Chains A and B, each alone.
Chain A
Amino acid sequence: QKEVEQDPGPLSVPEGAIVSLNCTYSNSAFQYFMWYRQYSRKGPELLMYTYSSGNKEDGRFTAQVDKSSKYISLFIRDSQPSDSATYLCAMIPMYSGGGADGLTFGKGTHLIIQP
């Protein structure tokens, strides 16, 4: 079993729809959870991050973390064709001594917003 599981898609939805993207994980040490957006042949762009459990909203994007279920989600409201990209979840433990390890990524979900 991989540490982070993410459905690679593709996920195709009409413009204006609400998009739900999800990841599950197995390592309970993960404390910070990130969502990156990656356009074709480009580097990942940090969209949002959340610490531990809870929700965080930024414009049309909402990130949710449920640590009890080891499940994280990203919701995109009023989706636009420009949102078409690969969305990567990533997570990282934070040890008591501070600092951080490398990020552990999911495979990425390829999202297509149809005009």
Chain B
Amino acid sequence: DAGVTQSPTHLIKTRGQQVTLRCSPKSGHDTVSWYQQALGQGPQFIFQYYEEEERQRGNFPDRFSGHQFPNYSSELNVNALLLGDSALYLCASSFLGRNSYEQYFGPGTRLTVT
């Protein structure tokens, strides 16, 4: 049973550019949440997708947007990159309704903005 997968593993971008990160949830899961983890900090909730719609959003600007596809996979897009966007971006999947608090994380995508 494949767990949560994310791509790419690492990414280097320049300030002002745009980036797209991808996530495939654990088999049987229908909900995807995205988190940003800065060095030495705990993950911060960005947003959550269910049924191809954004359900909840944390305290992140509109430069952060997402999408969920019919197969439950998801993308995170960040526009107009800032140096402060450098972080580990984590995707977590869960099954809404039953044990939806159990969120399982992927390995993350490490984004460096120069």
Chain A positions near chain B (C-beta within 8 angstroms):
4, 6, 8, 32, 34, 36, 41-46, 49, 88, 90, 92, 94, 98-108
CB <8 Å contact, B101 and A34: yes
Partner of B43 from the list A44, A92, A94, A101 (CB cut-off 8 Å) is A44
Asked whether B96 is an interface residue with its Cβ less than 8 Å from the other chain, the reply is yes
Asked whether B94 is an interface residue with its Cβ less than 8 Å from the other chain, the reply is yes
Partner of A104 from the list B45, B92, B94, B97 (CB cut-off 8 Å) is B45
Asked whether B35 is an interface residue with its Cβ less than 8 Å from the other chain, the reply is yes
Asked whether B41 is an interface residue with its Cβ less than 8 Å from the other chain, the reply is yes
Count: A-B pairs, CB below 8 Å: 71
Partner of A108 from the list B4, B42, B44 (CB cut-off 8 Å) is B42
Asked whether B40 is an interface residue with its Cβ less than 8 Å from the other chain, the reply is yes
CB <8 Å contact, B40 and A8: yes
Asked whether B48 is an interface residue with its Cβ less than 8 Å from the other chain, the reply is yes
Q: A101-B56, A102-B46, A104-B45 are in contact. List 20 more A-B contacts (CB 8 A).
A: A32-B101, A34-B102, A36-B105, A43-B4, A43-B90, A43-B105, A44-B43, A44-B90, A88-B42, A90-B42, A98-B97, A99-B55, A99-B100, A100-B94, A102-B35, A102-B58, A103-B43, A103-B45, A103-B92, A106-B42
13 of the cross-chain contacts (CB-CB < 8 Å) are A8-B40, A42-B107, A43-B4, A43-B108, A45-B105, A46-B104, A94-B101, A99-B50, A99-B55, A99-B100, A102-B33, A103-B35, A103-B103
Query: Which residues of chain A are within 8 angstroms of B43 by Cβ–Cβ distance?
Result: 44, 88, 103, 105
Nearest B residue (CB) for A110: B40
Q: How far is the CB of B77 from chain A (nearest CB, A)?
A: 18
Q: B55-89: contact bitstring with A at CB < 8 Å (1 yes, 0 no)?
A: 11010000000000000000000000000000010
Q: How far is the CB of A15 from chain B (nearest CB, A)?
A: 26
Q: How far is the CB of A6 from chain B (nearest CB, A)?
A: 7
Partner of A46 from the list B41, B42, B90, B102 (CB cut-off 8 Å) is B102
Residues in B6-50 with C-beta less than 8 Å from chain A: 33, 35, 40-48, 50
CB <8 Å contact, B105 and A99: no
